[in-house]
Amino acid sequence: VTAYPGYEAADDRTRRADEDRALMRAHVAGDQQAFAELVRRHRDRLWAVALRTLGDREEAADALQDALVSAFRSAGTYRGEAAVTTWLHRVVVNACLDRVRRRQARPTVPLGSTEPPGRWDDHSRTETRLDVQAALATLPEGQRAAIVLVDMQDMSVAEAAVVLGVAEGTVKSRCSRGRTALAQLLRAAAGDPGTYGGNHDRRPRVARAETARVDGVAGPATTGGAGQ
Amino acid sequence: VNSALPPEHPDDDLLADLAADVLPTHQARAVEAHVMACGRCAGLLTDAEQVRNLLLQDDPGPMPPDVLARIDAALRTEAATFWSPSGSLPTVARTGPSPAAAPYGTGPTGAQPYGAQPHGYGSAASQPYDVQAGAQPYDTETGARQPAGRPRTPPPPPTPTQPVRVITPFDDTTTIETYEAARRRQAARRRDESAPPAASAGAVPDRARSPRLSRPSRVPSRSRRDLRQEVLDVRAGRRGTVLAAAAGVVVLLGLGGYVVVGLIGSHQSDSASSASSSVQTLSAGSAAKAGGPPVLTTGTNYTQATLAEQARSLVQQADRGVPRSAAAVKPQAAAPEAASATADAGNLTLRDPTALNGCLSALQAGGRRPVAVDLARYEGREAAIIVLNGANGGYEVWAVARDCRPGADGTITYVTLNN
């Protein structure tokens, strides 16, 4: 864990969490500077969450704006049990997922555009971003949100579970399924379709990508049965 | 090796769940046995693990300036309305309502508004503040204190002069329940560790007695100034003191004097299991017959966590025109920790239809007939719960001060419920 960027010593986290709580109380009590300070402290991480979850800059900005205004208003509902950053992430993630669902309700994006372009082992940061973003976009929203929080924001599984309002096991499962699907997609996009298709997976690549897009997240899948 | 395997690999999701260690034991064994013998599946899991490294390399960078600017503008707009209840108070040089407005504590009026300060989401749109300002007291990443902190002096007088609106809009009750359910789970888990020893020692007054805070105050609880000091304390690394303070903190929330009880109090409130000791019940029928809205005094302690269901229950009572008896009140909804602090009878002004109408107009709901009104409690404090028909068939639920009136609606919280 210590190898991940963004890791902070536990003491430091505790201190910052205490500061956040004090700022929330000050905001609720009428300190007009407090919320601005909270935004300053968390804006970059929240921006990253929104951008990664939605994959679209403008939508991410819209969602983040809505979420922060909502957080500003509803700070009184924050009771201090979870860290403020957890609470803020929850508000932002919910705002983003709302948009994802609305977008799905009126699909204007042609399916083809979700195909991950280019190679995934490119070392250019921009290139990597594009690829990762495109690949993320193919994941079901639950998996995407879990991956964003745990693998990209370096959030603990426990905290991500609170943010997403699901059990920790569900977060683990979603992350792992998402990673597996990404591995398949990115590998395929790198022009190496045979690696995992092998002689055994007779589904065309599109079908496999489709599976990654529409699968559920709750229970184990039904195919396979190998070894039973 | 592969020839010994069945032609089908386990589904990718099964493989993933194996890696996540969430499969039932028997299933895990079977899938694991396959992976051990299958290069394809083992390779997939290896690659899936390596995806993490790729994901970590992805760096979206800081929030772009244009996004920062629009969010700042939106929050500024929000602040302008937020800090100016009902739009009835001037945004600059506000003066507070009379001390009589505060049911839980009164303080000096005419305090300096925070809006005069150069940063923060002040009520005056012309304020120079914005989130982009360079004078960040903290480095967002490291939390390191930077020398050029914003001016936080002179210390404002200890008493806020204006009720604070804490508006909590939710599109549906599911959102509320889901979050609150998670919160309650957490609360139950952390209850034991949440009270530092200093809590029972009543450490709050002591910590607040720094020289700069020693000015006489009529405020019986923590003032806004204290909170600001607390923030500063935290920043200065005086965490021990602050933690001790937090344990017993009572936060004065606006001039209305609504008091949010801190860690200890809120837990008591959350877990309140005692039935109301003095539920006063007023016939709902009489007011209803008179054509006014049914005004109940059920003695219920409404809480953030249960406001939705409690409001629905209130509507049902009002519909029946028969107030629910004390015994029927669910334990957790019943009177809370400090029955002695404020009598349930309390301020019953809103039983007067004229007063109620005044309150409704303060809520900008003038002319609308409430579905139900309950002169009860919210989070343990006297409050009026007002339920209105929502625009889309649901309900609007307001928790306001019992002395809610034109110019001082005293809103504590507000939620909308879907039907």
A60-104: pLDDT as tens digits: 999 999 999 999 999 988 888 889 999 999 999 999 999 988 887
Chain A residue nearest residue B161, CA to CA: A30
Whether the CB of B79 is below 8 Å from some CB of chain A: the reply is yes
CB pairs under 8 A between A and B: 317
Higher pLDDT, B249 or B7: B7
Res. B1: pLDDT tops 60: no
Residue of B12, B21, B60 with shortest CB distance to A172: B21
Whether the CB of B294 is below 8 Å from some CB of chain A: the reply is no
Contact B401, B256 (CB under 8 A): yes
φ/ψ region of B254 (left if φ > 0, alpha if ψ in -120 to 50, else beta) reads left
Rounded CA-CA distance B310/B313 in Å is 5
pLDDT value for B261: 30
| A-proximal residues of B, 12-31, CB under 8 Å | 12-17, 19-23, 27, 30-31
Q: Which string of DSSP letters, residue by residue, matches B399-417?
A: EE-TT-BTTB--EEEEEEE
**Residues 6+ positions from B342 with CB-CB distance below 8 Å:** B104, B377, B381, B382
Res. B396: pLDDT tops 80: yes
pTM of the model: 0.45
Whether the CB of B257 is below 8 Å from some CB of chain A: the reply is no
Q: In the predicted model, what is the mean pLDDT of residues B276-282?
A: 33
Whether the CB of B112 is below 8 Å from some CB of chain A: the reply is no
At B345, the pLDDT band (50, 70, 90 cuts) reads: low
Alpha helices in B25-160 (DSSP H): 25-37, 39-57, 65-82
Whether the CB of B266 is below 8 Å from some CB of chain A: the reply is yes
Q: What ipTM was reported for this prediction?
A: 0.72
Count the Cβ atoms, other than its own, within 10 Å of residue B332.
16
pLDDT value for B53: 86
Both structure tokens of A111: 């399916």
Most confident stretch, B65-79, B131-145, B264-278: B65-79
pLDDT value for B419: 64
Q: Lowest mean pLDDT: which of A36-40, A160-164, A176-180, B303-307?
A: B303-307
> Cis (ω within 30 of 0) for the bond into B353?
no
Q: Answer yes or no: do A94 and B175 touch at CB < 8 A.
A: yes
Rounded CA-CA distance B399/B411 in Å is 6
Rounded CA-CA distance B247/B245 in Å is 5
Chain-centre distance for alpha carbon B392:
24
Q: In the predicted model, what is the mean pLDDT of residues A191-215?
A: 41
In tens, the pLDDT along B231-246 reads 444 444 443 333 333 3
Taking CB atoms and an 8 Å cutoff, what residues of chain B touch A24? none
pLDDT value for B32: 92
| A-proximal residues of B, 363-382, CB under 8 Å | none
Whether the CB of B54 is below 8 Å from some CB of chain A: the reply is yes
Dihedral over alpha carbons B250, B244, A37, B217 (to 10 degrees): 40
Contact A91, A67 (CB under 8 A): yes
Rounded CA-CA distance B335/B278 in Å is 8
Contact B172, B264 (CB under 8 A): no
pLDDT value for B418: 75
CA distance B176 to chain A (A): 9
Res. B54: pLDDT tops 60: yes
- In the three-class reduction of DSSP (H, G, I as helix; E, B as strand; rest coil), residue B141 is classed as coil
In tens, the pLDDT along B177-195 reads 333 444 454 455 555 444 4
Res. B7: pLDDT tops 50: yes
Taking CB atoms and an 8 Å cutoff, what residues of chain A touch B155? none
Res. B230: pLDDT tops 50: no
Mutation choice for A interface testing from B162, B174, B178, B227 by most A CBs within 10 A = B227
